[in-house]
Amino acid sequence: MTAGLAGRDAALDAASRLVAGLPPAPAVWCSGLRKRYGKRQAVADVSLEVGRGEVVGLLGPNGAGKTSVIKMLLGLVHPDAGEVMLLGQPAADPAARARVGYLPELFRYQPWLSATEVLALHVRLSGTDVTPAQRRDVLALVGLGDRAGDRVGGFSKGMQQRLGLAVALVARPELVVLDEPTSALDPLGRADVRDIVLDLKARGVAVLLNSHLIGEVERVCDRVVILDRGRVAASGTLAELLGQRELKLQLTGVSAAARERLAATGPVEREGDWFTVALAADEDTAVPALVADLVALGAQVHAVEPARITLEERLLGILRSASEARSDTEGSSR
Ligand SMILES: Nc1ncnc2c1ncn2[C@@H]1O[C@H](COP(=O)(O)OP(=O)(O)OP(=O)(O)O)[C@@H](O)[C@H]1O
Ligand SMILES: [Mg+2]
């Protein structure tokens, strides 16, 4: 009997050592999510993953299902089908949700409370130990340091959004989900959010964010998932979605040797003084090395510009080709 128990303990020990050695489970994992509202299929089939410390952008037109997916991930809407794991635990588990910060799309905080009181309330709800100094730091981080004692009812919409961000961040989450964090923010506020997201990523916090400001998504996200009519229309890293990086150079005095050096980098196109060369890989050293070599080979370098199709162009391309494919099948089925 004792020997049996000892054997079981040893096996449990070995199992927990094995599990401890595994990489941590993704911050978000979902598979086959579906949701119907009446006759409308809001989410038809969505599977996605957000790794630890990864920043993933959820993009798509109005009504594509982004907010519905986010709400199902957070257990706020019950999916008709599909599975969700948050930080390695089923999304329904309150322990997993306690480590998630969330900025909802449409929110109203109690207008009679001050910003400090709203934060204190959310800290209490999260059950996390957050000191008053840490709360003040979060308000300062989102630019509300000097409005901490003011009633939320008197806040502008941008200030309310900043407070929402503070609420999402205050309990030191391991995953932050932001549903349109910058829709009401001024350009400085948007830059602040960008810095905050990059800082979260540097600290290993995963971020899933949804925004119609594609340029911002492009600046902060490692990966993008594009939703269209409740389905994943495309997904991948920015490099995968946007293809190769190109470099545009304005050059004069290009010797044969300099031309060879350009061609060694990648396929070259020329229009007058402008040379466009495809870069083989996203190597940090490729551009300075190329410019240094061209100068050494006697070329005069007037301009060097990175060039790549923007995420916005790519997104529009994906959505338009999906809509053309739909009208083709509708046309042929008539
Ligand atoms: N509670 C609800 N009741 C009925 N229909 C809903 C509900 N929530 C969402 N829908 C429908 O589900 C679809 C997806 O809505 P959702 O809010 O997920 O879109 P979204 O991609 O977040 O759009 P937006 O960019 O406008 O925020 C829409 O057709 C919407 O009308
Ligand atoms: Mg939405």
Could you report the per-residue pLDDT of 11-36, keeping only the tens digit for each?
888 887 777 777 788 999 999 999 99
Alpha carbon nearest to ligand 1 atom 25, residue: 62
- Which atom of ligand 1 is the closest one to the Cα of 69? 18
pLDDT of 20 reads 74
**Is there a single domain that holds both residue 52 and residue 195?**
yes
Alpha-carbon span 17 to 310, nearest angstrom: 46
**Pair (249, 193) in one structural domain:** no
Q: How far is 123 from 257, CA to CA, in rounded Å?
A: 65
Q: What is the pLDDT of residue 220?
A: 92
150 CA → ligand 2 middle, Å: 29
Per-residue pLDDT of 65-86, as tens digits, reads: 999 999 999 999 999 999 999 9
Amino acid identity of residue 159, one-letter, is M
In a domain, 89, yes or no: yes
- Greater confidence (235 vs 313) lies with 235
Helix axes 256-265, 286-296, angle to 10 degrees: 170
Torsion 40-44-49-54 (CA) sign = negative
Position 95 scores a pLDDT of: 82
Other Cβ atoms within 10 Å of 297 Cβ, number: 17
The reply to whether 215 and 283 lie within a common domain is no
Atom nearest to 40 CA in ligand 1: 29
Tell me, what's the pLDDT at 331?
A: 63
Does the C-beta of 68 come closer than 6 Å to ligand 1?
yes
**Does any domain span residue 66?**
yes
Question: Is the CB of 334 inside a 6 Å radius of any atom of ligand 1?
Answer: no
Q: Which atom of ligand 1 is the closest one to the Cα of 230? A: 14
Q: Is residue 16 part of a domain?
A: no
* pLDDT, tens digit, 9 for 90 and up, residues 278-308: 887 666 788 899 999 999 999 999 999 988 7
Ligand 1 neighbour 66 (Cβ under 6 A): yes
- Answer yes or no: is 227 within a domain: yes
Q: Say yes or no: 33 and 159 in one domain.
A: yes
Is position 187 within any domain? yes
Q: Point out which residues pair with 275 in neighbouring strands.
A: 249, 270
Domain end, chosen from 200, 222, 240, is at 240
Task: Tell me the two tokens of residue 47.
Answer: 């599977």
DSSP string, 160-202: HHHHHHHHHHTT--SEEEEESTTTT--HHHHHHHHHHHHHHHH
Does residue 319 lie within any of the structural domains? no
Average pLDDT of the residues in 108-133? 90
Cβ–ligand 1 distance for 126 under 6 Å, the answer no
C-alpha 196 – ligand 2 centre gap (Å): 21
**Same domain membership, residue 226 and residue 81:** yes
Residue whose CB lies within 8 A of the most ligand 1 atoms, among 41, 43, 59, 66, for a mutation test: 66
Q: Which of 213, 240, 267 is the last residue of a domain?
A: 240
132 and 148 part of one domain = yes
End-to-end CA distance of the chain: 75
How many angstroms separate the alpha carbon of residue 245 from the centre of ligand 2? 31
Contact between 309 and 243 (Cβ < 8 Å): yes
**Best of 33, 36, 37, 208 for a ligand 1 pocket test (most atoms within 8 Å of beta carbon):** 37
Segments forming the whole domain that contains residue 136: 28-240
Q: Which atom of ligand 1 is nearest to the CA of 70?
A: 18
Using one digit for the tens of pLDDT, what is the confidence trace for 220-247?
A: 999 999 999 999 999 999 888 887 678 8
Is residue 301 located within the same domain as residue 268? yes
Tell whether ligand 1 has an atom less than 6 A from the beta carbon of residue 42: yes
Q: Which ligand has the nearest atom to the CA of 62? A: 1
Q: CA 48, CA 30: separation in Å to the nearest integer? A: 5
The bound ligand whose nearest atom lies closest to the alpha carbon of 69 is 1
- Residues in the chain, how many? 334
Tell me the mean pLDDT in the region 48-55.
95
pLDDT at 272: 94
Cα–ligand 2 centroid distance for 59 (angstroms): 10
What is the 134 CA–ligand 2 centroid distance (Å)? 30
Residue 270 belongs to domain with CATH number: 3.30.70
pLDDT for the residue 18: 77
CATH of the domain at 229: 3.40.50.300
Instruction: Tell whether 182 and 226 lie within a shared domain.
Output: yes
* Final residue of a structural domain among 198, 218, 240: 240
105 in Cβ contact with 179 (< 8 Å) = yes
Q: How many domains does the chain have?
A: 2
Between strands 223-228 and 55-59, the pairing is parallel
Same domain, 249 and 229: no
Q: Give the whole-number percent of the chain exceeding pLDDT 70.
A: 96
Q: Could you tell me if 235 and 153 lie in one domain?
A: yes
